[in-house]
Amino acid sequence: MNSAAIVLLSLSTLTAQMLPPGDHVRELRVVDQIRSYSVHIPPSYNSRRPSPVVLVFHSAMMNGAMMARFCGLSEKADRSGFVVVYANGTGSTPVFLFWDAGGVRGRVSDDVGYTAKLLDDLSTVVNVDPKRVFATGMSNGAMMCYRLAAELSNRIAAIAPIAGTMAIQNCQPERPVSVLHFHGTKDGLVLFGGPDERIPKNLKFLSVDETVRVWVKANGCPETPVVADLQNLEDDGTRVRRKWYGPGKEGSEVILYTIEGGGHTWPGRDPRLRFLGKSTREISANDLMWEFFQKHPMK
C-alpha cells in the first residue's frame, strides 16, 4: 500500500471514530475511580475542522445532566457552533455531586487531573481546538473554574464563573487567563462579601471583590476599572453594573457583572427554586460568555 493510501485510510478511520452531532456520555478512569462526562455536539459540527469547547461545571449537589437542563448552554451551542461538555464531580450518589475546588476541609478529589484526562479523552472523539477550550460553572462549579484557571492554565483559555468565587489559597497561573464573573448582591449561598456567620466555618472562599483583585493582579490588568451601569430594560427587581479591568498581559481582561438585587442564579435563566433569589433578565450569561470567549483564545 502506498503512502497516499495509508494517509487516506488513516483519515477515514479517524473520521469514523469521531462522535456525530447529538448527545453522548463518555467514561474514563481517574486514579481508582470511573468518572464520566456528557458531550453535546451541535448540528453544524464538522469533524474536519477544529471546534471550540466550553466545559461546564455543575453546582454542588447536582450533576452534569441536571446542569445541562438548568443553564441552557446546549441550545446556545446549537446556535453558535461550539461543543459543550458537562463534567461530573464526585459524591456518594450519582445525583448529588461536588467539586474539590478548595475551601472545604477534608474533601480530596483530583478534579484538576480529571479535567485534564477529560480533555485528553475528548480529543480522541472530537476535533478539539486546543487554543479554544473554555470553562464556566456555577457556585461550587464556578470555584472549580477558578482552580482550573490557576492550576491548568496551559489548557484553559478563559473562564466565566457564575455565583462562585475563589476557594483556593494560591494563584500562580502559567499564563494570563481572562475572567468574566457574574454575581448577585443578594446571593445567600456564596455571599458577595464573603463568608459570614450564616456560612459553616469549614467553608472558606473569597469575596467577589477579593477574587477580582487576585485575577486583576495575576493578569497584569489596571487596578482601576471602567464602570458602566447598564440600561434597565426589564422590571425584574434587578439592575446590572459592569466593571472592566484591562487590557492586561497578552490582551487579557477581567470583567465583573454585578447584579444588584440578584440571587444565587444564572443570569438570563429562570431560577429553579424561589429561595435562590431573583434572576436578572437584563443580561444573558450565555450570550455574554460566548462573546467573551470568542475574544480570548489562547495565544
Query: For 124, which DSSP code?
Result: T
pLDDT surpassing 90 at residue 203: no
Long-range pairs of 21-30 with CB within 8 A, sequence gap ≥ 24? 21/45, 23/74, 24/125, 26/121, 26/122, 26/125, 28/117, 28/118, 28/121, 30/110, 30/113, 30/114, 30/117
Q: What is the pLDDT of residue 197?
A: 58
- Strand partners for 184: 259
Per-residue pLDDT band at 88 (split at 50, 70, 90): very high
Number of domains in the chain: 1
Q: What is the pLDDT of residue 38?
A: 98
pLDDT surpassing 70 at residue 18: yes
Mean per-residue pLDDT over the chain, rounded: 91
76 occurs within a structural domain: yes
**Poorest-pLDDT segment among 72-76, 135-139, 190-194:** 190-194
- The enclosing H or E element of 217 equals helix 208-219
Q: What is the pLDDT of residue 270?
A: 83
243 occurs within a structural domain: yes
User: Could you tell me the three cell numbers for 290?
Assistant: 460566548
Q: What is the pLDDT of residue 7?
A: 41
72 occurs within a structural domain: yes
Query: For 128, which DSSP code?
Result: E
Query: Which range of residues forms the domain containing residue 147?
Result: 19-295
111 occurs within a structural domain: yes
**Poorest-pLDDT segment among 60-64, 216-220, 245-249, 270-274:** 270-274
**Poorest-pLDDT segment among 50-59, 92-101, 146-155, 283-292:** 92-101
CATH code of the domain covering residue 25: 3.40.50.1820
Please tell me the pTM assigned to this model: 0.92
234 occurs within a structural domain: yes
In whole angstroms, give the CA distance from residue 260 to residue 162: 14
Nearest to 205 by CA among 177, 166, 247, 156: 166
248 occurs within a structural domain: yes
| More confidently predicted of 169 and 184 | 184
Per-residue pLDDT band at 202 (split at 50, 70, 90): low
pLDDT surpassing 60 at residue 56: yes
Task: Report pLDDT digits (tens) over 179-199.
Answer: 999 999 999 999 998 876 566
100 occurs within a structural domain: yes
